[in-house]
Amino acid sequence: MASVGTVHSGNNVNLKSEQSVDTPQRFSLPPKPSVTADSSLRFKISGLKVSYGPKEVLHGIDINISSNVVTALIGPSGCGKSTFLRSLNRMTETVRTARVEGDILLDDENIADMDVVKLRRRVGMVFQRPNPFPKSIFDNVAYGLRINGHKGSLSESVEHSLRRAALWDEVKDQLHKSAYTLSGGQQQRLCIARALAVDPEVLLLDEPCSALDPVTTAKIEELLFQLKPSCTIVIVTHNMQQAARASDFTAFLLEGRLIEYQPTPKLFTTPADPRTEAYITGRFG
């Protein structure tokens, strides 16, 4: 198990193997990944610092994110979870004053050197509040395909994406209605479908369920599980039950530092760091 270990503020990730933890067989890949698309590590991040103006939000994060698993980021408000997530597809650049230092390698290629448009096509994102475009349901999903000069049948791809987002059956008869006629949960699944339409390798979700009711939340968690074989998922969540239920690995961030990064069952049952334990048992945050 490469990349998983405990981290204490400022130190590098301890790359020791976690043989003791009962993880599924497919995660126990050789520690040295190949450069191919199915390499076990999708993101290798070292020394990531992000600041907005004079205020440094992330103080040097070292973390590796595995392919085709769900990685959850937890931590109290303002700990830098969202900033971390947004730096993975360079959405940090939409903030004028943001400055990013350190290396983020996506399949061993530094994302800072990549064309940002290509990067974002490979690394999709779903936001906290559903943000469908003021267009029809169909046009929302087709948007990414159209701007990418999609060749082939648009309607087939739209249907495929809506099916992947478990929304097809609810909307198939009203594809040309405004996306705003949908409920909040449906809108969020529409946003997931929209992100999936361009077939990203990585899907970043920034508290995707915080505005949704428990039933819809369960649907989206189920969805994440189904997407795992085809997509690497990184999810920021405030909800620790959600992290425990839906993720394979969990990273705990506190005040801009990575405190602990473990397979989810281990982090929630036997956390290595007392601060992690304090947080997950609800003593702060």
Partner 1 sequence: MTRRSVTNVVMLTLTGACALLTVSVMFYILGYLAWHGASALSWNFFTKLPAPVNVPGGGMANAIVGSAKLLLLACCIGVPVGILAGIYLSEFAGHTIASVLRFTVDLLNGVPSIVIGIFAYTVIVLPMHTFSTLAGGFALGIMMIPISVRSTEEYLRAVPSSLREASLALGAARWATITRVVVPAAFRGILTGVMLALARVAGETAPLIFTAFGNNSWSHGWSQPTASLPFMIYTYAVSPYDDWHRQAWAAGLVLVTLVLLVNIVTRLALARKMPLSR
Percentages of the chain per state (helix, strand, coil), in multiples of 5: 35, 25, 40
Among 178, 210, 216, 239, binds partner 1 (CB under 8 A): 178
Regarding 125 and contact with partner 1 (CB under 8 A), the answer is yes
Regarding 210 and contact with partner 1 (CB under 8 A), the answer is no
Residue 64, number of CB atoms within 10 A of its CB: 22
Per-residue contact track with partner 1, 127 to 146, x per CB under 8 A?
x-x-xxxxxx------xx-x
285 in helix, strand or coil?
coil
Regarding 191 and contact with partner 1 (CB under 8 A), the answer is yes
Contacts with partner 1: how many residues (CB under 8 A)? 30
Regarding 41 and contact with partner 1 (CB under 8 A), the answer is no
Which of 124/271 has CB closer to partner 1? Answer: 124
C-alpha distance across the termini of the chain, in Å: 29
Regarding 180 and contact with partner 1 (CB under 8 A), the answer is yes
Regarding 194 and contact with partner 1 (CB under 8 A), the answer is yes
Residues 61-90 that bind partner 1 (CB under 8 A): 89
Among 16, 26, 118, 283, binds partner 1 (CB under 8 A): 118
Minimum gap (Å) between residue 10 Cβ and partner 1? 31
Q: Of the listed pieces 20-28, 57-65, 126-134, 276-284, which binds partner 1 according to CB under 8 A?
A: 126-134
Which of 120/275 has CB closer to partner 1? Answer: 120
| Long-range interactions of 56-61: CB distance < 8 A, separation 24+ | 56/256, 57/83, 57/256, 58/83, 58/84, 58/87, 58/256, 58/257, 59/9, 59/10, 59/255, 59/256, 59/257, 60/10, 60/102, 60/257, 61/102, 61/253, 61/257, 61/258
Minimum gap (Å) between residue 150 Cβ and partner 1? 12
Q: Which of 94, 93, 112 is nearest to 102 (CA)?
A: 112
Regarding 193 and contact with partner 1 (CB under 8 A), the answer is no
For the beta sheet containing 202-206, the strands, ordered from the edge strand earlier in sequence to the opposite edge, are: 5-6, 257-263, 249-254, 70-74, 232-236, 202-206, 123-126
Q: What residues line the site for partner 1 (CB under 8 A)?
A: 89, 91, 94, 96, 117-121, 124-125, 127, 129, 131-136, 143-144, 146-148, 178, 180, 191, 194-195, 198
